[in-house]
Structure 1
Amino acid sequence: MAFGLLAAACGGGSDSDSGDNGGGDAPVATEAAADDGGDAAEPAANDDVAEAGSQAEGDVDTEAAEAATSAIYGGDIAVGLEAEAVGLRPWEDTCASPCYNIMVTIYDKLLEKDAEGQLQPWLAESISPNDDFTAWTMTLRPDITFHNGVELTAQTIADMFPIQAAGTVAAGQVSASNLTGVEATGDLEVTYTLSSANAAFPAYLERAPMGMVFDPAAAVADPDGYSTAPVGTGPFVIESRDLDNETKVVRNDNYWNSDADGNQLPYLDSISFRPIPDEGTRLDAVLSGTVDAMQSLRQGTIRDARADGTLSLYEQQGNNVGGGMFNVLLAPYDDVRVRKGLTHLNSQDNVIEALGGTGISLPGTQFFSPDSVWYSEKVAAAWPQFDFEAGVALLTEYVNDAARSDGKAVGDKIDVELSCPPDPTLIAAMQVIEQVWSQSELVNVSLTQFDQQTHINKAIGDEHQAHCWRFSDDNDPSTTFGSGNAPPTAEIAAANGLDGIVSPINWPNYFKLENFAATQVAIGTDDFDTRFAAYESIMMDYAENVPLWYSGHTATMIATNSKLDGVVGWHLPQGGDLGVGQQGAEGRWLEVFISE
């Protein structure tokens, strides 16, 4: 997704030619390449909870590194994705990892992250706040044009704002960021005005809904067509889009960015992105040369790719955790006894084993990985661990309650629809959960599978019940927690005195005024301890009221054949410092090249 809460799910595609050198032989001197590389109400603390900074034995994060060889221009490659992108409009279309791989070739971001994970200018040259963080002034780089020849100016950013404010995805982020106005205060100077302080506002300019720059005039002229014919300033231009088959982008000959020696980027002639939903088929495709690279967010695929040993692997396991969510606006999930009871009946170790992640992924207890600065041992100890008897006790209490919210007779089992996309490892994981829930003899479980687009759309339309999902990312927590804890409906907003503040991406539809207030405290200061305490309080509430459940922290991977280089060797503009590499299987392809 275009922000913190990213959809879980899976992304066969058709065969195509593998990439080659395309005859290009002009050396580009970028040295480089990457490493391959209790009781029911109050559950007891788990003595085995991982301490901050610990990792699963197989958790390997590939760091950004200079390329091993000198870059060469030319060549065409194909990349296998886990799913088709729902659309390519940053303000309107939900965007998970597969979508980001495509969109980052077409659109530039205002800000990017360096190898240390710190935000740095990209299309922007600088950004700075006023004293109380209620206004931010940004200066854009000069002499940048869109693919259609239109010049990028400060007015472009201002004209993007009303489109973003009305966008299905961006509107929630605009609201969560406290942004109320964007004004061109110079030819290349943009002033962002906020309704209240947001010390973390720049983090919103690194993700798709607000940070990817598009041509607003073209977007207004044909908002539907823009999804298949987007116009950005990025290193590649879209050539064709055949949904569920292939999206092809070709080199932008007028791209503004260059490498350290002044050689214009990008290096490749074209990239074809192909949705291949089945994990085994996608891995086989890169092993056979049908595609040159693939991305995956499945532990089992990473295990199999490691075992093969012939591919270059770029891995990361950050602040993204798998699991699922309950739609708390629907019975019986509106009752915490049901949510917590079902969570106690979630055997995380067995689910991770079914996913192929044993030795790779740690069980999750919160949005943050144990090696994150935001990780809380207090939250880890409070999370409802697997406890069959505690789960049965809570569900029994609900089932025997004459006032139970689902309207069924006392003693009747509860009905649960457990849904996930039809990837074999996901199906296996859901079967593990279904078996334990059914063994309680208190739950009728219906397993359903939908393709990723349908799976996401059901969540957007609040049609889901118990829905597998992924949560969080490695951006500042504000981008996840702000929209994720805002009122999910206009009625809930009005009842809490928050008229006009509605987030369609509060996926579980769980709202607590104290949590929303904590998000505002967290963005009102740049003091880390204050911000940590605010986010910890929200995670503690999740541990108590359980609007979602966790399996394990998400291991991610981009795997390529041995000919591709520069995968984690991309730099900040004009040959600056190294960028963050590849996080969340979101590839940056502008400095990838085919080595000899």
Structure 2
Amino acid sequence: MTYFSPKGTRPLVIFQARRSAMTLAVILMTMMAFLAACGGSGTNQPQTPQSKVGGDLAVGLNSDVVTLDPLKSTALVDRQVMLNIYDTLVRIDAQNQIQPDLATSWTQPNAKELDFTLRTDVKFQDGTPFNADAVVFNISRILSTPASPRYSELSSVKSVQAIDASHVRFNLKRAFSPLLATLTDRSGMILSPTAIQKLGANLGNEPTDAGSGPFVFSEWIKSDHLTIKRNPHYWQKDAQGIALPYLSSVKYRPITNESVEFSNLQTGAIQASDTVGATNVATARSSSNLIYKQIPGLSFYGMMLNTKVAPFNDVNVRQAVAWGVNKEEIVSNVLKGLGSVAQGPIPPSSWAFNKDFAPYTYSVDKAKAALAKSGKNSVTFTLSISSGSPALTQQAQFIQSELQPAGITVNIKQEPFATLLSDTSDHNFVAALLGWSGRPDPDGNMYSYFHTGGGNNNMQYSNPQVDKLLEDARATTDQQTRTTDYQQAEQQIMVDVPYVFIYHGNAIQATTTKVKNFTILPTTIMNFSNVYLGQ
């Protein structure tokens, strides 16, 4: 091995032959010191591209995954796994900009057609080719399943057709400006048609070789762990030509108690966490062996109200609850200021946000007055929440305490997260504490939740005026017009109160210092395709 002196180092000089022995010793000592400075011991050696490859990452999730079938999924934890095993037609980057993924480019010949050029070097994990027919199969699967949460996301799509193997056309019922943003997520995930047909109903539990993404499904032991392994045939490479992903595997562990999840992160039992409880954030920020980041998110959190069952089939009762929940108190005391008070579904990070819109502030008197309009002096309802989380329990208890002075009694019902999702989807609930992780286009935060028959409209809310505004917003590309439509829809939604908005959350990232090259995304998705483990 050849070593070079650092720039500016003076050459060694041997003075006299009679001092050669001493000089040799000096030379040897100098070389040893220089080797140590250059990392000769190996402890400070810089990371080389090849040395990034390998390693097993353990990740904490705040609940168990529900399903790995994008046609059926409604949970963020599902997306955390699916977006690491399935590719999408297009993707969202850290700046909320749409980038190519399985589609390399797109053009719009007219308002009712959107054409995609597809990659030609991709195979699914089962060895079958990715092509236009696969796109047609996946999108048609959504369009033929009205019960799917994806159906309303793509309700403006009339059909999809293969032009040739590498080109596909979306035929639209009318102009559909949020389509690209919609295709960055579950509606745009493209799975192997062969695998879908082979796996049948088991796709959601064991999607073996179904994707084309950086990782391959390995095993799922429910309530214990879910493991994905490196896809050796993944199509993406890094800037040095090294095949991605670097990691050998990712093991997800469901840990519903956020304090326990954080403790596992501190001890290194997991190296990444999807949640850090508000009481642990200061410790995470100051810890020398952890990395904590947060950026404004796209989410909203609050209470779904079932508008078809008592007492929330009366708008006056819904408004009473909206007046009676002290959002500022919850953000301050439960979230420790890590979030912002929500006045509707549009977060402050959105281009459609209205900073002057504040329809409800905490008022016991106004809550009582709204309740009196319903002809009642008091009401009782059951609030369903996901079990296992002290923070969610505390939030529910705050709501319970805040509404009591207005004559509104809250009974808290805890149930497993998957059961809660099933109950709300089946409209088997009165009120439920559930949030939405958010989407980059306002359509993704509003249409499926508040349009009649929307895929996430478990509140069974319906208002023709809101429907029209949301449809009109989809049908124009003018951002100012869309902003006006969304803000007017938001105003009417808050009059009708199918959902009590409490706060907008942050996107966070919490890892040990060994986790490298991990990009935080406003969508809160943990993408591990470029992550590696270092010292």
TM-score by length of 1: 0.78
Alpha-carbon contact 1:78-1:274 (below 8 Å) kept: yes
Aligned ranges 1:50-61 → 2 under 5 Å: none
Q: Give ranges in structure 1 of 5+ residues lacking alignment.
A: 1-24, 30-69, 401-410, 489-502, 569-580
**1:549 Cα deviation after fit:** 1.1
Match of residue 397 from structure 2:
431
After superposition, what is the alpha-carbon deviation per residue over 1:129-148, rounded to whole angstroms, capped at 9, x for unaligned? Answer: 2222x111001111100111
SS of aligned partner of 2:459: coil
Q: Partners of 1:269 and 1:550 in 2: how far apart? A: 41
Determine if the alignment matches structure 1 residue 388 to structure 2 residue 364: yes
SS of aligned partner of 1:470: strand
Q: Once the two structures are aligned, what percentage of the paired residues are identical? A: 23
Match of residue 12 from structure 1:
none
Q: Partners of 1:303 and 1:330 in 2: how far apart? A: 42
- Paired letter, 1:527: D
Alpha-carbon contact 2:380-2:409 (below 8 Å) kept: yes
Higher relative contact order (CA 8 A, sep 6+): 1
Q: Partners of 1:371 and 1:309 in 2: how far apart? A: 30
Aligned ranges 1:102-121 → 2 under 5 Å: 102-121=81-100
Q: Partners of 2:61 and 2:459 in 1: how far apart? A: 27
Q: Partners of 1:142 and 1:152 in 2: how far apart? A: 7
Determine if the alignment matches structure 1 residue 154 to structure 2 residue 105: no
Equivalent residue in structure 2 for 1:181, among 145, 159, 163: 159
**1:565 Cα deviation after fit:** 0.3
**1:116 Cα deviation after fit:** 2.5
Q: Give ranges in structure 2 of 5+ residues lacking alignment.
A: 1-44
Alpha-carbon contact 1:311-1:561 (below 8 Å) kept: yes
Determine if the alignment matches structure 1 residue 75 to structure 2 residue 73: no
Alpha-carbon contact 1:26-1:72 (below 8 Å) kept: no
CA gap of 1:175–1:257, structure 2 versus 1, over 3 A, is closer
Q: Partners of 1:583 and 1:319 in 2: how far apart? A: 6
Q: Partners of 2:353 and 2:51 in 1: how far apart? A: 39
Match of residue 169 from structure 1:
148
Alpha-carbon contact 1:297-1:584 (below 8 Å) kept: no
Q: Partners of 2:330 and 2:189 in 1: how far apart? A: 36
SS of aligned partner of 1:185: strand
Match of residue 521 from structure 1:
472
Match of residue 200 from structure 1:
178
Determine if the alignment matches structure 1 residue 129 to structure 2 residue 68: no
Aligned ranges 1:380-459 → 2 under 5 Å: 380-381=357-358, 383-400=359-376, 413-422=378-387, 423-440=389-406, 442-459=407-424
After superposition, what is the alpha-carbon deviation per residue over 1:508-550, rounded to whole angstroms, capped at 9, x for unaligned? Answer: 2111111111112111111111000000011111222211112
Alpha-carbon contact 1:298-1:555 (below 8 Å) kept: no
Alpha-carbon contact 1:354-1:429 (below 8 Å) kept: no
SS of aligned partner of 1:145: coil
**1:297 Cα deviation after fit:** 6.7
Alpha-carbon contact 1:342-1:437 (below 8 Å) kept: yes
- Paired letter, 2:175: A
CA gap of 1:219–1:26, structure 2 versus 1, over 3 A, is farther
- Paired letter, 1:229: E
CA gap of 1:583–1:559, structure 2 versus 1, over 3 A, is same
Match of residue 531 from structure 1:
482
After superposition, what is the alpha-carbon deviation per residue over 1:95-152, rounded to whole angstroms, capped at 9, x for unaligned? Answer: 31x22221112111111123331111111101122222x1110011111001110110
Alpha-carbon contact 1:299-1:556 (below 8 Å) kept: no
Alpha-carbon contact 1:92-1:169 (below 8 Å) kept: yes
Q: Partners of 1:289 and 1:297 in 2: how far apart? A: 15
SS of aligned partner of 1:456: helix
Determine if the alignment matches structure 1 residue 336 to structure 2 residue 315: yes
Q: Partners of 1:300 and 1:103 in 2: how far apart? A: 30
Match of residue 239 from structure 1:
218
- Paired letter, 2:533: I
- Paired letter, 1:485: F
Q: Partners of 2:191 and 2:293 in 1: how far apart? A: 29
Larger radius of gyration: 2
SS of aligned partner of 2:104: strand
**1:303 Cα deviation after fit:** 4.4
Match of residue 93 from structure 1:
73
Tell me which protein shows more helix as a share of its residues: 2
After superposition, what is the alpha-carbon deviation per residue over 1:367-416, rounded to whole angstroms, capped at 9, x for unaligned? Answer: 233343221134x23x211011110111123234xxxxxxxxxx5x3221
After superposition, what is the alpha-carbon deviation per residue over 1:486-518, rounded to whole angstroms, capped at 9, x for unaligned? Answer: 323xxxxxxxxxxxxxx3421321111111111
Match of residue 227 from structure 1:
204
**1:170 Cα deviation after fit:** 4.5
**1:459 Cα deviation after fit:** 1.1
After superposition, what is the alpha-carbon deviation per residue over 1:166-219, rounded to whole angstroms, capped at 9, x for unaligned? Answer: 44434433543x1121111111101111111112211111011x1111112221
**1:319 Cα deviation after fit:** 2.1
**1:93 Cα deviation after fit:** 2.3
- RMSD value over aligned CA atoms? 2.0
Alpha-carbon contact 1:87-1:228 (below 8 Å) kept: yes
**1:300 Cα deviation after fit:** 3.9
Alpha-carbon contact 2:331-2:337 (below 8 Å) kept: no
Match of residue 10 from structure 1:
none
Q: Partners of 1:297 and 1:264 in 2: how far apart? A: 32
CA gap of 1:359–1:484, structure 2 versus 1, over 3 A, is closer
Q: Give the aligned length.
A: 487
After superposition, what is the alpha-carbon deviation per residue over 1:273-305, rounded to whole angstroms, capped at 9, x for unaligned? Answer: 111111011000010111111111754443452
Q: Partners of 2:276 and 2:479 in 1: how far apart? A: 30
Q: Partners of 1:165 and 1:439 in 2: how far apart? A: 48
- Paired letter, 1:130: P
Q: Partners of 1:225 and 1:466 in 2: how far apart? A: 31
Q: Partners of 2:412 and 2:494 in 1: how far apart? A: 25
Determine if the alignment matches structure 1 residue 282 to structure 2 residue 257: no
- Paired letter, 2:200: P
Match of residue 5 from structure 1:
none
Runs of 4+ displaced beyond 6 Å: none
More moved, 303-312 vs 86-95: 303-312
Alpha-carbon contact 1:154-1:187 (below 8 Å) kept: yes
Alpha-carbon contact 2:183-2:189 (below 8 Å) kept: yes
Match of residue 47 from structure 1:
none
